[in-house]
Chains A and B, each alone.
Chain A
């Protein structure tokens, strides 16, 4: 079965510091991968998605970037965090068909 690993679960970072959140998946090959952000009390905003190694599509202009160095690895990064980057970050995957998305446990990021 498919599983998604996200870490860390919580993170507190100062403004201006770098960020690297990692998402790895198991039990599937060539998945579509997604990064979502949920601001406090808000809905989920799609940030990036990837249909394959090295292929990244950005949905909204922002202070973040994403990379997919391996088939089952999806990384969310920032060179300098802003206060507005605080939120709950979720990684998700879909298989080859347009099935439901499976979500990781999420990382709660607080920028102070």
Chain B
């Protein structure tokens, strides 16, 4: 069975602080994909990043960075110098490479960035 766990329900930080959102996944597949999405108050889901199981290289995009470690089944997301506009719910997700490419989401982490 596949599972995504985001243990942090809510995180509150002050603007300019760094914050890391944790994601742990479970799968028996050797080929799979991991994703992070942002859900602002408007409700739409915004795609942030996709990683396949064979690519453990960390990625940085502006203030965002992702750390993928297969040894610990983790795919953590760090926001550097957080801003108020980063306030949202962030979802980690896992997709199989078979069976309709279903994407299973974690419960989400609500991030509050205070000015």
Measured CB to CB, the residues of A under 8 A from B are 32, 34, 36, 42-46, 49-51, 57, 59, 88, 90, 92, 94, 98-106, 108
Q: Which residues of B contact A (CB under 8 A)?
A: 33, 35, 43-45, 47, 50, 91, 95-97, 100-108
Q: A50 vs B104: C-alpha distance in the bound complex, in angstroms?
A: 15
**Bound form: Cα–Cα A4–B33 in Å:** 22
A98 touches B105 (CB 8 A): no
CB distance from A85 to the nearest CB of B (A): 17
**One of B33, B43, B107 near A98 (C-beta < 8 A):** B33
In angstroms, Cα B94 to Cα A55, docked, is 23
* The 5 residue pairs across chains A and B that have the minimum distance between CB atoms: A43-B107, A103-B45, A44-B105, A100-B47, A98-B101
With A43-B105, A44-B45 already in contact, 6 other A-B pairs whose C-beta atoms are closer than 8 Å? A34-B102, A34-B103, A59-B102, A92-B45, A92-B103, A100-B35
Instruction: Assess A46 versus B43: contact at CB under 8 Å? Given A98-B97, A99-B50, A100-B35.
Output: no
Question: Which chain B residue lies CB-closest to A103?
Answer: B45
Contact (Cβ within 8 A) B44 A106: yes
Closest-by-CB residue of A relative to B35 is: A100
B68 vs chain A, min Cβ distance (A): 15
Closest Cβ–Cβ distance, residue A71 to chain B (whole Å): 15
Kindly state the separation between the CA atoms of A84 and B109 in the bound complex, as whole angstroms. 23
Name B104's closest neighbour in chain A (CB-CB): A46
Q: Contacts A42-B107, A43-B106: A103 and B101 contacting too (C-beta < 8 A)?
A: no
Given the known interface contacts A42-B107, A44-B91, the answer about A102 and B47 at a Cβ–Cβ threshold of 8 Å is yes
